[in-house]
Amino acid sequence: MDRIKKYIDLCNPEEVQVITQENQLKELKNFVIKTGLARRLSVPDSLWFCSNPHDVARSEEATVVASDRDLGPYIKTVPVNEARCLVKELFENSMASRVAYIVPYVMGSLDSDIKKFGVTLTDSPYVVLNMAILNKVTDEALKSLDSAVIGVHSMASMDPTKKKIIHFIEDLEVFSVNTNYGGNVLTGKKCFSLRIASSLGRAQGWLAEHMLVSVVHNPICGRFVFTAALPSACGKTNLAMMNPSEEYARKGWSVTCGGDDIAWIFPKAGRLFAYNPEYGFFGVAPGTSESSNPNFMSAILKGGCIFTNTAVDEELNLPWWEGIGKPYPHKIRTWRNEVIINPNKEEGPFAHPNSRVTVPIENCPVLDPLWRSSEGFEIDAILFGCRRAAGYPLVFKARNWAEAVYFAATLKSERTSAQEGTVGVLRHDPFAMRPFFSYHIGDYLRHWLTIGESLSPQPSVYFVNWFRKDSNSMFVWPGFGENIRVLEWVIKTTKGVSTACIDSLYGLIPARDDLSLPEGVLYEHLFTIDVDDFEKELEENEHFLKALGSKCPEELWSVHESLKAMCKKVL
């Protein structure tokens, strides 16, 4: 226990409990209810928490990697010695007169080669209860302490100015302090499964990505596996477990889900295999309804869930949020824990826009039976998505692997409530990984190119944008179950059934008659590309590539130059 003991000594809790048993979790649930930290809802075995109003989203500002090297764009670094001093300062006595919980867990299946262990020390019952859903608690982790990722989390004084999430990548250690919100504190999630794992993956020849894993069962090829990276709060959970529209369901289309947030991807014999290392979902609640995501709604209602910062219908004792598809409750408890009678819609939102539901993955009615298999999912196609009101096509296919890496590296998306900052502003989000990089992006791009070289055939790579708006600011594409039409084109194109693609500035787009559009939706509204906008985009891309300096792979400069040349031809 040496790797943990020194931090217990530093944090100085009153008592230490090692959590390995179901009955301890039950007791902890009773404890949080008795002490008013949470409330039991009428969803079976489910709890409602609300966080501090200043602690409602992942904080990129407070997230750092301890390193003496410059790690390039988007990674905030703190010199290692300084970071160690910071840990000492921030955690000293931080758990005084509190209970510290030790949560040993595994990511990935216990019987698979890809599994990794983690051990988290925390003074937050909220963290323990969430981690027990998202990860598999097992004392096996305590037997592999040397190679486990150690997470130390303390609410400390919850002083927002002292919020920090510090990663020591090589030492496999993460520290999170003065916060008690999801992605900052569930150290198994972004900190381990993406930041630490992607660095391990670079050294060991695999990838850790911000991707869902899904299987489309279809009349064209039977089973088709895709992974998809979308920035936070852009519909990954909806896409991961979508119900195809009725028309397609009747024709035999369905989707099963392997995971909704993180994929560890391994090359084997020239193919790529994806594993979801998590055991639960941490989905955005607002907008989730019977019509947008019936499978997630049904998973939620099965119970065993944690609701964070949703509102509550006081009369029914049920969670409520904007877009749930039910009327405003007569008596509502807001995410700020205030009760309002006959709420006026204008005073909302009553659920925080980034409120979340933590759900056991096995609740998912369309969970793919292979989700925990040790073989993983053999990938047929990789998708990247973004949220953009203008200019970016509904779907396109990269012409080759280098172009795929280029377009993923230069992805831009409107900011959502999942991050602190102004919603709606377009920001560069390479690979939908911007907040999760732990090593230089130039090296990350080189790693993707190298992995690509080992593949045969290389999976096709597509880019999607469900969020184009018309001149009245209305979404052009209906999305949700109709996204199956795009997946149909993806499958037909990958399998060579469709060959009528059109060369565009953004890769290959569907020919007009090759993508089945819902009635009333116009092809032009989805695929028109403004050359001037594209040129501007190339200028921004050029700044980014230049910022990578000598670390920018030559292949990406070649793609860039050929796009510039294409642009000139069109002009």
With tokens 């230089």, the residue in question is: 440
Residue type, 108: G
According to the binding rule CB under 6 A, does residue 58 interact with ligand OXD?
A: yes
553 binds, among ligand OXD, Mn ion, none (CB under 5 to 8 A by kind): none
Of 244, 268, 271, 269, residue with least CA distance to 255:
244
Residue 279 contacts which entry, ligand OXD, Mn ion, none (Cβ below 5-8 A, type-dependent) = none
Asked if 123 touches Mn ion (CB under 5 A), the answer is no
Residue choice 132, 418, 486, 505 for contact with ligand OXD (CB under 6 A)? 418
Number of residues that bind Mn ion (CB under 5 A): 2
Closer to ligand OXD by Cβ: residue 151 or 182: 182
Question: Quick check: 506 and 392 in contact, CB under 8 A?
Answer: yes
Q: From the centroid of its chain, how far is CA 417?
A: 13
- CA dihedral over 550, 430, 228, 435, signed as positive or negative: positive
Interface with ligand OXD includes 232 (CB under 6 A)? yes
Tokens for 333, please give them.
Answer: 């408890």
306 is a contact residue toward ligand OXD (CB under 6 A)? no
261 binding Mn ion? (CB under 5 A)? yes
For residues 108 and 329, which CB has a smaller minimum distance to ligand OXD in the complex? Answer: 108
Answer yes or no whether residue 481 interacts with ligand OXD by CB under 6 A.
Answer: no
Q: How far is CA 287 from CA 54, 351, 414, 444, in A?
A: 22, 11, 17, 33
Order of strands across the sheet that contains 47-49 = 39-40, 47-49, 306-308, 356-360, 280-284
Per CB under 6 A, the list member of 13, 118, 125, 183 interacting with ligand OXD is 183
Partner whose footprint covers residue 58, from Mn ion, ligand OXD, none (CB < 5 to 8 Å by kind): ligand OXD
Binding mask 124-163 for ligand OXD (x = CB under 6 A): ----------------------------------------
The single residue of 11, 50, 234, 257 carrying the catalytic annotation is 234
Give the shortest CB-183-to-Mn ion separation in angstroms.
Answer: 7
Among 261, 313, 380, 488, binds ligand OXD (CB under 6 A): 261
- Reported in sequence order, the residue ranges of 430-529 that DSSP labels E, i.e. its strands, are 460-464, 501-503, 508-510
Number of Cβ atoms within 10 Å of the Cβ of 541: 21
| Contacts with 23 (C-beta within 8 Å, 6 or more apart), sequence order | none
Whether 282 contacts 129, CB under 8 Å: no
Nearer to ligand OXD (CB atom), residue 29 or residue 58: 58
Q: How far is the CB of 137 from ligand OXD (least distance, A)?
A: 20
What is the per-residue DSSP string for 101-115?
EEEEEEES-TTSTT-
Q: Does 209 bind Mn ion (CB under 5 A)?
A: no
Nearer to ligand OXD, 58 or 202 (CB): 58
- Contact between 151 and 174 under an 8 Å Cβ cutoff? The reply is yes
Q: Report the residue number, 232 or 460, with the smaller CB distance to Mn ion.
A: 232
Nearest one of 136, 78, 150, 77 to 107, comparing CA atoms: 136
234 catalytically annotated: yes
Of the two residues 236 and 397, which places its CB atom closer to Mn ion in the complex?
236
> Any contact of residue 482 with ligand OXD (CB under 6 A)?
no
Which residues contribute to the site for ligand OXD (CB under 6 A)?
58, 182-183, 232, 261, 282, 418
Which residues contribute to the site for Mn ion (CB under 5 A)?
232, 261
The catalytic residue positions are 234
